[in-house]
Structure 1
Amino acid sequence: MSRITESDEGKSVVRGDTTVGIVATVEHGTAYVEPDPGLTDKVMSQLGWKDIDEETFPLQEQEIVDVTDDEIKLQTSP
């Protein structure tokens, strides 16, 4: 798997067929995702993003399946 770098900022983050957000920033190899405004509470909870007041959420490395030129793909099941 590719390590997350600053070049991944701005990429879409997808889970299955759903875009869950966009990489807002990368700090020390961790991508922080700004959730898609239409993301439901259920999907956010499945992703472990419980504090809805936060603006960005960190991606856990074990959730990432693939990093392409355009997007970061997550596991489809929690």
Structure 2
Amino acid sequence: MTATLTDDEVGKTVVDAEGKELGIVAKVENGRASVDPNPSIAEQLLASLGVEGEDDEDYVVTEDMLDSVGEEIVLRGNL
């Protein structure tokens, strides 16, 4: 079963299979998350409040790249 991405994931930390922090979810749209690899404190605060936003340095994570979604989003190890 594939994990799904919803607006509830905005502000969550994204980590790789080894637990290395890769950034935070800035926006979710159509099963794709925009992940900010270097969020400012203001961006982290806004994301924690559920305010979506994205910028040029964000990268995209799709549902087929996910291992699990919980307190943090964990990517599969074989990407």
TM score, norm. by length of structure 1: 0.68
1:36–1:76: structure 2 CA closer, same or farther, 3 Å change rule? farther
Amino acid at match of 2:74: K
Runs of 4+ in 1 over 2 A off after TM superposition: none
Q: 3-state DSSP class of the match of 1:55? A: coil
Q: 3-state DSSP class of the match of 1:59? A: strand
The reply on whether 1:29 has 2:16 as its aligned counterpart is no
User: How many residues align structurally?
Assistant: 62
Higher RCO (CA < 8 A, seq sep 6+): 2
Taking the TM superposition and a 5 Å limit, the aligned residue runs for 1:1-78 are: 1-15=2-16, 16-36=18-38, 54-68=56-70, 70-78=71-79
Structure 2 runs not aligned, ≥5 long:
40-55
Q: What is the alpha-carbon root mean square deviation over aligned residues?
A: 2.0
Which residue matches 1:51? none
Overall identity of the aligned pairs, in %: 36
